[in-house]
Structures are given as structure tokens and as C-alpha cells.
């Protein structure tokens, strides 16, 4: 059996997952007749926004993601769940090439955004990341004012032609992120002075200020309390009207609440994909069932 662990030295960003070794699945007495290396469920969707085929990711000589095929539809919320170290965050970070910053990380396969190859060597990552934004696990506002946090993206991309326009973008983004009422009187105060949940909403506002087409969320609520989490989940629901959202989460309730489709990852393989309702009520694969019923993971 392969016991897959991501080398924490080569990938500091996914260290959270790497620190916990993955249980050897043979000890769980699982159904071996159905191999988890084959994805169960329909990966194709109508109205495709992003399309991934045979994606393999390795950090040095440790492979983290094995041959994952997945499509993401326009304006859908797709949740990726699975035990720690299953490669879901790594896979997510491929979608806007954030893995480029990790030394020794090699990605192969085809990843397409509107039929454009993301890993085309000629592709510039700067506009790609403007189209595919990202919200991280730990709220990471810049140590600048709330206004500057949101205005930074539009500024570097030149989205606003005047101060008035920029003010408008900032206000709209903060409104969409549900932070406007709390922040409008303290726009000039540091973003780091906000509470954890507010900081995460600020990060979401910062991301949507550049009007991306896809928003990747890497466990956005894992550092937040239940009330702040509920607020973010509501927000995800509202945002799905305008954006395509891929969210990695450890909380199955969260996946069930916010997503349209759910993908279950195991040891670097995509085990099952399907409508969220189906996955949680009628999982096809034994591993998925065990995971969502809390028998392991």
C-alpha cells in the first residue's frame, strides 16, 4: 500500500496536511473490489469553466496528486473534501499556479480555463491570477489600511481610472463581502486590527475587487469561530451568483451546506465526484461513505 505523505520541507504551505500521516487503508477493512484509483461519478459538466485532465503533482520525488480528472462548471460551488494529506489543497493550488512558488513542485497533465491551457509555458501567471483569485486558510490581510488592502489589486492591474472609480470598487467589494457596514467608518485603519472573521471577509473583498472569474478557497473557515464561519458560508452562497467557486474544506457540514457538487479525495486520488446531495445521502464508493459517516479521516 502506498502511504502518501507530502514532504513538509518542500511544501510549507501544505504543512498542515503533511504533519498528519495518512492511515493505511488496508487496516480499515475496506472494500478492495472497487479500487479508489478509479474515480466514481461523472466528471464532465455542462457549461464548463475549468477542465482538468490527468493532473499529477509531485513535490520532489513525493507525488501528491495522481491523475485527477475534474471539470468545474460556471457559477457553481464545488467542494473538495478528504482526509489530511489527500492532495485536495495541492490540487486547488494548481488552478491558479500558486504551486509555482514552491520549489521542486512539478505539475503535469492538462488544466484549462475556458479552453486556455493554464500551464502553457507562454502563459503569464499575472493575468491568470487576476482571473483565478484565491482566499487562503489563514486570514492574511496586508499590514495596511482596510482601504489599501482592497484597493491594491485594482491598483496593480490598473482597473480604476480615477480615485472615484477606485473608491467605488472598494465600496462594492466590501459590500459584496458583507464587510461594508462594519468597516466603512474605519477604512483608514489597519486591516490587521479586525477580528479573525472580519479579516477573512476582508481577504475575500480583496479577492473579488479584481473581479476574478473563479475564486479558489483553501479551507477559508478553519481558523474561524462558528459565527464567523456561518457568515462566510452565507457569503459564499451570495457570491456563487457571480463567481465560480472551488472550496477545500475539512468540514463535511460546510461542504454539504455551501456546495453544489462535492469531490472526495483520498491519498492523492479523486475517489468520487457528484452532486453534493447524492454524495452525502448516497455515496457510491465505500471510502466516501466511511469518510462522511466519520468512520475514518
Partner 1 sequence: MSRSTIDIVNRNLAKRYAKEKRFRLFGLVSILAGLAALCFLMVTIVSTGWGAFTQSYIQLTLDLDPEVLSISDPQDDDQWSYANYTGVIKKSLRERFPDVTSRRDKKRLYRIVSPGAGYQVNQLMQDRSLLGQTVTVWLPADDDVDSVIKGHIDRSLPENERRVSDKKLSLIDELVNSGQLKRKFNNIFFTAGDSSEPEQAGIKGAMLGSFFTLIVALLLSFPIGVAAAIYLEEFAPKNAWTDFIEVNINNLAAVPSIVFGLLGLAVFLNWFGLPRSVPLVGGIVLTLMTLPTIIISSRVALKSVPPSIREAALGLGASKMQTIFDHVLPLALPGMLTGGIIGMAQALGETAPLLMIGMVAFIVDIPGSFTDPATVLPVQIFLWSDSPERAFVERTSGAIMVLLMFLILMNSIAVLLRKRFERRW
* Contacting positions for partner 1 (CB under 8 A): 12-13, 96, 98, 101, 103, 125-130, 133-134, 136, 138, 140-143, 152-153, 156-157, 192, 203, 206-207, 210
Nearer to partner 1, 244 or 262 (CB): 244
Nearer to partner 1, 142 or 296 (CB): 142
Helix (H) or strand (E) holding 217: strand 214-218
**Alpha helices, H only, the chain:** 15-18, 88-94, 125-131, 146-157, 163-176, 180-183, 196-208, 226-239, 252-258, 276-281, 286-292
| Residue 98 DSSP symbol | G
Nearer to partner 1, 56 or 140 (CB): 140
Q: Least distance to partner 1 from the beta carbon of 216, Å? A: 8
Using CA atoms, how far apart are residues 247 and 113, in angstroms rounded to an integer? 17
Q: Least distance to partner 1 from the beta carbon of 192, Å? A: 6
Nearer to partner 1, 28 or 222 (CB): 222
Helix (H) or strand (E) holding 284: none
Nearer to partner 1, 72 or 273 (CB): 72
Distances in Å between the Cα of 77 and the Cα atoms of 6, 11, 247 are: 27, 27, 7
Beta carbons of 107 and 119 less than 8 angstroms apart:
yes
**Helices and strands counted in the chain (H then E):** 11, 10
Q: Least distance to partner 1 from the beta carbon of 146, Å? A: 14
Using CA atoms, how far apart are residues 293 and 297, in angstroms rounded to an integer? 10
Q: Least distance to partner 1 from the beta carbon of 174, Å? A: 16
Q: Least distance to partner 1 from the beta carbon of 195, Å? A: 14
Q: Least distance to partner 1 from the beta carbon of 288, Å? A: 30
Q: Least distance to partner 1 from the beta carbon of 149, Å? A: 9
Task: Report CA torsion sign: 154, 160, 166, 172.
Answer: negative
Nearer to partner 1, 166 or 252 (CB): 166
Nearer to partner 1, 128 or 187 (CB): 128
Instruction: For 235, list phi and psi in degrees, rounded to 5.
Output: -60, -45
Amino acid at each position: 500500500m502506498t502511504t502518501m505523505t507530502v514532504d513538509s520541507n518542500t511544501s510549507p504551505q501544505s504543512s498542515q496536511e503533511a504533519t498528519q500521516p495518512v492511515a493505511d487503508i488496508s487496516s480499515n477493512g475496506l472494500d478492495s473490489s472497487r479500487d479508489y484509483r478509479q474515480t466514481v461519478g461523472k466528471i464532465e459538466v455542462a457549461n464548463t469553466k475549468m477542465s482538468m485532465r490527468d493532473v499529477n503533482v509531485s513535490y520532489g520525488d513525493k507525488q501528491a496528486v495522481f491523475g485527477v480528472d475534474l471539470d468545474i462548471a460556471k457559477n457553481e460551488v464545488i467542494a473538495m473534501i478528504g482526509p489530511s494529506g489527500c492532495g485536495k489543497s495541492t490540487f486547488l493550488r494548481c488552478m491558479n499556479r500558486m504551486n509555482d512558488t514552491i520549489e521542486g513542485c512539478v505539475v503535469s497533465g492538462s488544466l484549462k480555463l475556458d479552453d486556455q491551457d493554464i500551464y502553457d509555458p507562454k502563459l503569464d501567471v499575472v493575468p491568470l491570477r487576476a482571473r483565478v483569485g484565491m482566499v487562503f486558510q489563514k486570514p492574511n490581510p496586508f499590514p495596511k489600511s482596510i482601504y489599501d488592502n482592497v484597493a491594491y489589486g485594482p491598483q496593480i492591474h490598473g482597473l480604476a481610472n480615477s480615485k472615484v472609480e477606485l473608491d467605488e470598487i472598494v465600496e462594492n467589494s466590501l459590500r459584496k463581502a458583507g464587510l461594508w457596514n462594519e468597516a466603512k467608518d474605519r477604512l483608514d485603519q489597519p486591516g490587521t486590527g479586525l477580528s479573525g472573521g472580519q479579516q477573512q471577509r476582508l481577504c475575500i473583498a480583496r479577492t473579488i475587487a479584481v473581479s476574478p472569474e473563479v475564486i479558489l478557497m483553501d479551507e477559508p473557515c478553519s481558523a474561524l469561530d462558528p459565527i464567523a464561519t456561518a457568515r462566510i458560508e452565507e457569503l459564499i452562497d451570495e457570491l456563487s451568483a457571480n463567481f465560480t467557486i472551488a472550496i477545500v474544506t475539512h468540514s463535511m457540514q460546510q461542504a454539504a451546506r455551501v456546495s453544489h457538487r462535492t469531490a472526495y479525495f483520498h491519498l492523492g486520488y479523486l475517489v468520487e465526484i457528484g452532486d453534493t446531495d447524492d454524495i452525502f445521502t448516497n455515496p457510491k464508493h465505500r471510502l466516501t461513505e466511511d469518510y462522511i459517516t466519520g468512520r475514518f479521516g
